[in-house]
Structure 1
Amino acid sequence: MLGGKKVKKTVSIFTLALCLLVLMSYPVLAKTINVWTGFPELEPFYKWAGAEFSKTHPDIEVKVLSTSLREFEQKLVTSIPTGTGPEVFDVGPYIAIKLIDAGLLPVNPPELDSYLKSGAWSQFAVDYVTIKGKTYGLPLMNGSRAALFCNKDMFKEAGLDPNKPPTTYKELMEAAQKLTTYDKSGNVIRSGLSLRISGGGSGLTEKFRFVLHNAGADLIVPTGDGKWKNGIDNEAGRDALRYYIDALHKYKVDDPQVKHDSDAFVTDTTAMFLRESWVIGEVKSKNPNLNYGVAPMPGWRRHDTLSQPWAIYMSSEGAKSKEVVEFMKFLTSTQAAPQLIELSGWIPERNFDSASLVKETPQYEFFVNPPKEIGFYADPVIPAFDEIQTKIADELMEAFLNKKLVDNPKGIEKTVRKMANMIDSILKRYKAYGK
């Protein structure tokens, strides 16, 4: 009996050793860094970065998930609180501040904080990701710095100088009237100016603010006591809405029935539109022979453009990993900067040598070297702002389709006041309203 036990013990030890040997013969399962984005055009960049990072970190696998921006934001805000979200993600400040206020995003560890303050970013960018003296995430790209895209061939066809694009919103409307083409029934075939008039969400309101801000108004303005109130119930706010109404229904330089935005520009169905640098990448991939130029945002009472640092963040789980911290630094490195531009069209927020970029693609000039006379503004970093933009987008879409607002000052005033009251109501609910 005793000998039998020894045999069984020997067999058990042998079996255990054999199992260990078999397990050791398989590669160690890679650690996974999940990256989420609401910008599908960033997916190739993240995949490139993952492949490059794995060369020096062979045990790391980077997986990328990209969806539409609105779907991504909804998925993110429900997954982060439960710890089921990604280790790394990029998101706008209005979503980030909600997560920060809820204690769901980690403060940058000392290594990332020092890296952020090393001089690689402007003080504006550093300040933008600093909340109550603490830094969160790293600015990846400039999410706006929008400019005017112009089809040069269409300018020539209309008798306009392609090297002298409109510099004011008045000139923009005048040029758009000359650039628009119609069928025999007077329907727009090719818009002279493609405006963002549908799609919903905060993006529509953001594009409306291109006109609103330079007209001299803002959605919300500070009251001096750390609070805010609406900034549109005034002449400038009414002028901005009237500009859209006139473009759509009075001068008919755009129409809801034709293609819009980048789809219209790359398919030669609009002559001009206002958008960010990523459009350059879109043109390269879909219509590389398009003859076009990029000019500064037109001016009005102001001459500014939206400058929006767009950052990458770590989840609380991701921040526990040394590899995730290193990957964050790699994504914002000088090595990655050219690839961000090449693969997505977006401009890195960090400082980098842009000479070769502009030489190869002159359309990038404004985005990397904006004229000194151009000012900048940014989204207010408060939790209420995303809801304000989203709710106002619904009001704007309805207003844009209302032909009765043409040459109707009282109707314009009533519509703007309704939006102003809605803004103040939201601010009050967030306890952010001031007089």
Structure 2
Amino acid sequence: YPVYRDKLLVAATAGAAPEIFVVDQIWNPEFAAAGFVIPLDDYIARSGLSSDTFFKGAWDSCVHKGKVWGIPFDVGVWSQLFYNRDMFREVGLDPNRPPVYWDEYLDYGKKLTRDVDGDGTSDQWGSGMYGGRHEGTICQTDAFIFSNGGSILSEDFSRCVLGDKASVEAMEFYKKVVDEMSPPGATARTPDDAVKLFSASKIAMHLQGSWVQSTITARAPEMDWAVSLLPKPRRGESVGTYGGWNLVIYQKSKYKDAAWEFIKYWSSKGINEKVIALVPANKESADIFLA
């Protein structure tokens, strides 16, 4: 992931980027501001393509300073709860009822944190919460903060509000999960480390994005697991961090018109759902994934 971004930046700077490429939603403003990709407003207007065709969050990620610099390709959601149904059964938890609220998540996690081999030290944990220097840590902590009604910045983006009550409460709960139901080493742990623990049945619950479903299936084909929403506070709602990829046209492309036709085709109903592994950004294509 970071290597791909670096290679794109090097290629674009050297005038050697592909005619079309995909960028993570959070990279789109960076590539637009650097002049590496072109605005698509004229193409969109001529084609009659509507922003309403796509999920709003995905479309908005393509907009920078009033112009549209890409077309959303797919979407992913951080902070889904993956849980091992067999491990739930082993401690008497209902495998068909994952935790919905924060307090339930903590209670479940404590029951699932135990000394299986009897040597006096826990060797199974409720969760594998991570705090390593990684994009995933930001996405995860953001999800807890926003679920509790908090934020990172004020509405006018003029000041940091991480010190506000709702944000502090969320991070205090996050630390409680680390301290009471996660294996040691959370400050260095990444999402990749945590999904390895989950696949090895060392942790019973794992929080990450929709794209790890195939990873879990490949690594633990015999595991009986399921997925649910991120647990929420009693007075809040489950909020996940949005993700996904956008199709863009290189500023130095010699075939911009053809590139646009390709992007329009790949993002259309009937095609978008066939060429990706995540949920399509095209709402009509996404129906089969959300049924």
Q: CA deviation at 1:281?
A: 1.7
Which of 299, 310, 316 matches 2:251?
316
CA deviation map 1:54-96 (0-9, x unaligned)? xxxxxxxxxxxxxxx2222233333323322232222234322
Say yes or no: does 1:295 pair with 2:266.
no
Q: Hey, what's the Cα distance between the residues in 2 that align with 1:324 and 1:291?
A: 43
Q: Hey, what's the Cα distance between the residues in 1 that align with 2:282 and 2:160?
A: 33
After superposition, the Cα gap between the structure-2 partners of 1:356 and 1:218, relative to the gap in structure 1 and judged at 3 Å, is closer
- The residue that corresponds to 2:109 in the other structure is 176
Which of 256, 259, 262 matches 2:185?
256
Q: Hey, what's the Cα distance between the residues in 2 that align with 1:340 and 1:267?
A: 30
TM-score scaled by length of structure 2: 0.84
* Range moving further from structure 2, 88-97 or 181-190: 181-190
- The residue that corresponds to 1:76 in the other structure is 8
CA deviation map 1:176-205 (0-9, x unaligned)? 11112335454442221121222x233321
1:6-405 correspondence to structure 2 within 5 Å: 69-108=1-40, 110-112=42-44, 114=47, 116-117=49-50, 119-182=52-115, 183-198=117-132, 200-223=133-156, 227-249=157-179, 251-256=180-185, 260-300=193-233, 301-303=235-237, 304-318=239-253, 320-341=255-276, 344=277, 346-352=278-284, 357=289, 368=290
Q: Hey, what's the Cα distance between the residues in 2 that align with 1:171 and 1:307?
A: 25
Q: Hey, what's the Cα distance between the residues in 2 that align with 1:281 and 1:196?
A: 21
Counterpart contact for 1:177–1:253, Cα < 8 Å: no
Counterpart contact for 1:167–1:298, Cα < 8 Å: yes
- The residue that corresponds to 1:394 in the other structure is none
1 or 2 for the larger relative contact order (CA 8 Å, sep ≥6)? 2
What secondary structure sits across from 2:104 in the alignment?
A: helix
What secondary structure sits across from 1:162 in the alignment?
A: coil
TM-score scaled by length of structure 1: 0.58
Counterpart contact for 2:265–2:271, Cα < 8 Å: yes
Identity of aligned pairs, percent? 23
Structure 2: 5+ residue stretches without partners:
none
What secondary structure sits across from 1:271 in the alignment?
A: strand
CA deviation map 1:249-304 (0-9, x unaligned)? 3x243332898332222222221111221122223333333211111221124312
Counterpart contact for 2:29–2:62, Cα < 8 Å: no
What secondary structure sits across from 1:142 in the alignment?
A: strand
Q: Hey, what's the Cα distance between the residues in 1 that align with 2:272 and 2:222?
A: 25
What root-mean-square deviation, in Å, do the aligned CA atoms of Structure 1 and Structure 2 show? 2.8
Counterpart contact for 2:28–2:62, Cα < 8 Å: no
- The residue that corresponds to 1:47 in the other structure is none
Q: How many residues align?
A: 283
Q: Hey, what's the Cα distance between the residues in 1 that align with 2:285 and 2:230?
A: 24
Counterpart contact for 2:143–2:241, Cα < 8 Å: yes
Q: Hey, what's the Cα distance between the residues in 2 that align with 1:356 and 1:104?
A: 34
Counterpart contact for 1:112–1:325, Cα < 8 Å: no
Q: Hey, what's the Cα distance between the residues in 2 that align with 1:96 and 1:76?
A: 12
Counterpart contact for 1:128–1:309, Cα < 8 Å: no
After superposition, the Cα gap between the structure-2 partners of 1:166 and 1:105, relative to the gap in structure 1 and judged at 3 Å, is same
After superposition, the Cα gap between the structure-2 partners of 1:151 and 1:216, relative to the gap in structure 1 and judged at 3 Å, is same
Q: Hey, what's the Cα distance between the residues in 2 that align with 1:340 and 1:176?
A: 38
Q: CA deviation at 1:230?
A: 0.8
Q: CA deviation at 1:239?
A: 2.3
* Greater Cα radius of gyration, structure 1 or 2: 1
Q: Hey, what's the Cα distance between the residues in 1 that align with 2:29 and 2:121?
A: 45
Q: Hey, what's the Cα distance between the residues in 1 that align with 2:181 and 2:250?
A: 48
Query: Counting helix residues as a fraction of each chain, which structure ranks higher?
Result: 1
Q: Hey, what's the Cα distance between the residues in 2 that align with 1:186 and 1:230?
A: 44
After superposition, the Cα gap between the structure-2 partners of 1:103 and 1:208, relative to the gap in structure 1 and judged at 3 Å, is same
